[in-house]
Structure formats: structure tokens, C-alpha cells
Chain A
Amino acid sequence: MENNKLMKLTLKIWRQKDAKAKGGFETYQVEGISPDTSFLEMLDILNNKLIHEGREPVAFDHDCREGICGMCSLYINGKAHGPDSEITTCQLHMRKFKDGDTITIEPWRSAAFPVIRDLVVERQAFDKILQAGGFVSVNTGGVPDANSIPIPKADADESMDAAACIGCGACVATCKNGSAMLFVAARVSSLAKLPQGRVEAQRRAKAMVAKMDELGFGNCTNTGACQAECPKGINIAHIARLNREFLSAKFKD
């Protein structure tokens, strides 16, 4: 609250009319930005100003604005979700910048995520991977009694940690190979650690990896960049579990 100075900022924003158009950066100014403003609110302010000036507002993705849905997706000053750790863009606040700063804002860049417009990219590839295996199809019958299947706390915790993935795609955008391994691993791991999901663990790993390859995501070379940029701090140890499930499935073929 001491830092109550309103900020003036220069924004270099990627503009691209549609998937086929050649995009480029355009420069904008915003003023009177409170450090307590969120990054997306700052973009709202910019857009409102642009509309009043008769210019096209900047398209960007967002929904919950509280870090739980995975819709927001900006590459800010060369980092997925901007210069703070374990947060999504919508949780980033302007106090992380200084008055007079120039901020560069780009969309996720990856062959598997084509730009739809400006900062919005098509992330359907993730849905397709999920449709290939990210579910439980064994019928578990009627409502079971609570606690009738005990699950060790360590397993439940690990499953929950992996389930924290919100599918935003920061891992893909950050990875120099454009690999979706962290995303796939988080799904495989969270389900494999619970009894209902365990049954299909190997089949699931195989199906999801096959889909990922088919959709043009790159290979994982263990650089660990994804983990560093993941807003939910998903650990690359899950990739090891995915590899294990995948290999045992392959051996059985």
C-alpha cells in the first residue's frame, strides 16, 4: 500500500488478425495503472481505451480470473504467465512491474497451438489428447460407502498434486521442443494413483502419448523448463511415471 504510485507503461503487443495473417508487434501506452491492478484488468483498461478511440481491442483468453480454469495464457517479457512463479497470468499483478516499464506480450507459440487472433491460441489439441484416454471408463457401480476403499495418504496427495494441472499449456509454450509431456503426465499420474483409474493406467498412457505425437507436439528431452513455468508447480517426476506406464504397456504389446 505504500507503493501507491500510479504507473505509466508501454506495451508491445502481438497483433494478428487470424490464423493465416502475418502478425506483428504494435505499441500502446497505458497510464494511471495502480500497482494493485491485475495484469488482465490492465488489458481491460487498454481495450476500453482502444474501443473509445475507434481502434480494435486486443483479443486475449480469460475466464475465472482466479487461477483455476486454465484459460489465460500470455507470454509476458519472454516468460509464460509472466515474471512471478507458480501463478497464472490472471493472478499476476502490476506491482511486479515498475513505472515506465515496457512490457512485451505474446501468445503461446507452438506448432500445436495455432494463433486464432492476437493473443488467443487454439488449444483443442489438449482436449483431443484427453479424449484419447484421460478418463475412467470402468463402471464403478452405485454410490459406494465412504472409506470403503482405503487410499494411502501419500498416494492421494500425489494424485491431487498432479490433478492440480489446469491445462493452460504453459508447459508446451515454454518447452523448446513444444512437448506436451508434463500435461499428459499430470493426467496419467493423477488417475493412475487412484484405484478407479489404476485399472486402465497403461492403456491410457499409450493412447494419450500416441495422440500427442499425432498432433505434432515435440519430444521430451528432460530440460525441466516446463516445471519451472508451470503455474501449479507440477513436478516432472510425473513424467517418469508416465514413461513407466508407457513402457510397461509397450512391453505387453
Chain B
Amino acid sequence: MEDVKAIRNGAKKASDIEEKDRDYYLERRYPAFGNLVPRDVASRAAKERCDAGFGVNETGLAVFLDFKTAIERLGEDVIRARYGNLFQMYEKITDVDPYKEPMMIYPAVHYTMGGLWVDYNLMTTVPGLYAIGEANFSDHGANRLGASALMQGLADGYFVLPYTIGDYLSKKIQAPKVATDTPAFDAAEKAVREKIDKLLAIKGKHTVDEFHKKLGNVMWEDVGMARSKESLERAIAQIAQLRKEFWKDVYVPGENGEFNQEIEKALRLVDFLELGELMARDALNRNESCGGHFRVEYQTPEGETLRDDEKYAYVAVWEYKGADTAPEMHKEELHFEVAHPAQRNYKD
């Protein structure tokens, strides 16, 4: 703890801490895997250390990742060839040379599991609207591995879509230009205009960014790496409250019909409020821990995720039922024919 304080106030550098005084907490907890545990496990462990008061940096929101022994073993050149671009990014952000000093790291939301429902041809429930890459739910399961975003982008874009979209388009080849003078188009246009006008007319006291940060905090604390029934119910209530305040007290400057980034942000935030609430509902429904979804009530005595395959071996598909109506869940059962799910074990 003294070392932590010394580092926070700048009296010590990470490289000053002696080997015997270091706590390699991942290796301590997961001797067989060490730093190679999946990212949800590593992230949770990092947050646990920081929550317990061992975080470094002025904010206390960081743990160290030291490449010293890797550099000694492989040489700086090899590390540079492998991670040079990432190390350069890190140096520019922190002003600390990661080849000399341990890196300060902390988990952050980078992507989400799940996405738009699509069929095997990658078409959404809207005919003709395809969703590929990370936007759809199809390839990644309850957790992500390194580079899965890239993998899915390539797989969908290079190997799937070219063979499926043609099927849809072939039937449309004679179709005339899509008309915009239809009642459906008019209704959609009117709805968007009304929404924007409504946002501009509120003229409240808080900016879109301020509401966005509040939502971010709710998601981070209560729908984050570890969640519970209690935290999720709290989140759902808080988001409902936040949505109310937003529609009463947001201030969106400028006018409609001009290039206005605040309108764009506000419209996105309206979606995020809805999506955040849906994520909380989904997590609340799933009474098990699975992959990145860690419900504190469902864990093994060692603190690992505890699945319930009897009840939850399905993909939850939520159907939108309108702005003020609860969404409806559909289940897509999962069948495992070749590889069967087993309990994760990173201890031995």
C-alpha cells in the first residue's frame, strides 16, 4: 500500500518497485494461465484490484502491465515488431515510454456482445436490410477473443455476403427506383422531423454530453463487468429517470436543416438510452454467468462464471414493441453437435 501511495504522488516510479514487493495478481489467481486468461477475467481482476484500493495513477484507476521480462527474453526489436504500433499509441497518450516503464492499464468498454438479429444470409428483420460485421449478433458468442471484430468483418464481408445478397437482389433486378411519395415514407419523414423539432424546443439546462456521461456511469457501475439483480434493477430505474429528465431538460442548440452535430448526438443518445435499458433487461433475465456476462450471484466457489445450460442455452432475441412498451423476448435455442460447452477452469 505504501508503494501504491508513493506511485500515486510521484515519489516512486513503477520500475523502482522491487520484484519481491510486486503482486502479480493474475499469476497468483490463475497460475496456469497468468496473463493469458480471457479478457473478461483479466478485466474483472484489474477492476477488483483498483476497487480494493491498489490502483495507481492519480485517479487510482490503473494497474501495471510490465513488459520487462518479455523484453529481456525476446529483445526489444521483437517486441517492437509485434506491438510497436500499440506501444507508440500508449506513449503518445501517457507520455511514458512503455519499453522502459510498466504500462498503466485499466479496462474500458470497447465493444458489446450481441447485435442486430440476422438470418443465415445476414439479413435483418427488415427485408433487404443486411447487417454485417460487429453490427450483427451472429458470430461472436457470450465472449470475445482478440481480433474477433476483424474476423467477423472479413468473414461476413468476404465469405458470406457476396454469396447471399445476390439472391435478394436477383429478385429486385426489375424493381423500379424506390419511390419517396408514399404514405409510409411521409410518415417516417414526419416522425423524424417531429422528433428533431421536439428536441430543439426543449431548451433545458443540460447539454447532451452531460446526460451521456450520466448514462455511461450507470452502465459502467451497474451493467458492467460484474452485475447483480439488484444493480440491474437499479440501472433500469435510473435509466427511466434519466430519460425523463433528458426529454424535460436537455438543451440542443442551433437549428434544424443545418449541419448540427448536437442534434446528431442527441438522437444517438435517445437510442443509447433505449439500448442501455435493453442490455440491463437482458442481463437481468439471464440468471447465470456466461462469458462476459458475470452475475455476482452465479459464481463458483473460486469466483468463476457459473453457467446454467439447462435453462439458458439460448440466444435472447428482443423484439421492439414501441417506445413505451416493454420489448418481447424470443428464444433461439443453441444446439451443440460437435464441441460441447464445459465449465471454464483457468486454475490448473
Contact = CB atoms under 8 A, between A and B. Distances in A.
B89 A67 contact: yes
B93 A48 contact: no
A142 B95 CA distance: 46
What is the size category of the interface that chain A forms with chain B?
A: 20 to 34
B251 A51 contact: yes
A31 interface: no
B89 A66 contact: yes
A120 B92 contact: no
A44 B92 contact: no
A93 B262 contact: no
A2 B259 contact: no
Contacts of A52: 207
B254 A56 contact: yes
Interface in A1-44: 1-2, 4, 17-18, 38, 44
Given A48-B207, A52-B207, A91 B89 contact: yes
B257 to A, nearest CB: 11
A67 B88 CA distance: 11
A138 interface: no
Contacts of A67: 89, 92
A48 B209 CA distance: 8
B92 A87 contact: yes
B167 interface: no
A23 B73 CA distance: 57
Contact of B58 (A1, A17, A51): A1
Contact of A51 (B89, B207, B258): B207
A55 B210 CA distance: 17
A48 B210 contact: yes
A138 to B, nearest CB: 12
Contacts of A57: 253, 261-262
B92 A51 contact: no
Interface string B80-98: 0000010011001101000
A8 to B, nearest CB: 20
A47 B253 CA distance: 11
A87 B92 CA distance: 8
Contacts of A44: 209
A210 to B, nearest CB: 27
Contacts of B207: 48, 51-52
Interface string A55-68: 11101000000110
A59 B95 contact: no
Contacts of A38: 93
B159 interface: yes
B10 interface: yes
A206 B262 CA distance: 41
Interface string B237-264: 0000000000000010110001101100
Contacts of A95: 95
A44 B92 CA distance: 20
Contact of B95 (A66, A93, A117, A143): A93
Nearest to B95: A95
A51 B88 contact: no
A20 B214 CA distance: 38
B258 to A, nearest CB: 7
Interface string B85-125: 10011001101000000000000000000000000000000
B259 A56 contact: no
A116 B321 CA distance: 38
Contacts of A93: 92-93, 95
A116 B209 CA distance: 23
A18 B258 CA distance: 8
Nearest to A92: B92
Contacts of A1: 10, 58
A44 B207 CA distance: 11
Contacts of B251: 51
A3 B259 CA distance: 38
Nearest to B163: A142
A86 interface: yes
A99 interface: no
A51 B262 contact: yes
A2 B207 CA distance: 33
Interface in A105-125: 116-117, 120
Interface in B38-94: 58, 85, 88-89, 92-93
Given A52-B207, A59-B261, 17 more contacts: A1-B58, A2-B10, A4-B58, A44-B209, A47-B209, A48-B207, A48-B209, A56-B254, A57-B253, A66-B89, A86-B88, A91-B89, A93-B95, A117-B258, A117-B259, A120-B259, A164-B85
Give the 4 A-B residue pairs with the shortest CB-CB distance, closest first: A117-B259, A91-B92, A51-B207, A1-B10
Interface of B: 10, 58, 85, 88-89, 92-93, 95, 159, 207, 209-210, 251, 253-254, 258-259, 261-262
12 contacts: A2-B10, A18-B258, A56-B254, A57-B253, A57-B262, A91-B89, A91-B93, A93-B92, A93-B93, A93-B95, A117-B258, A143-B159
Interface of A: 1-2, 4, 17-18, 38, 44, 47-48, 51-52, 54-57, 59, 66-67, 84, 86-87, 91-93, 95, 116-117, 120, 142-143, 164
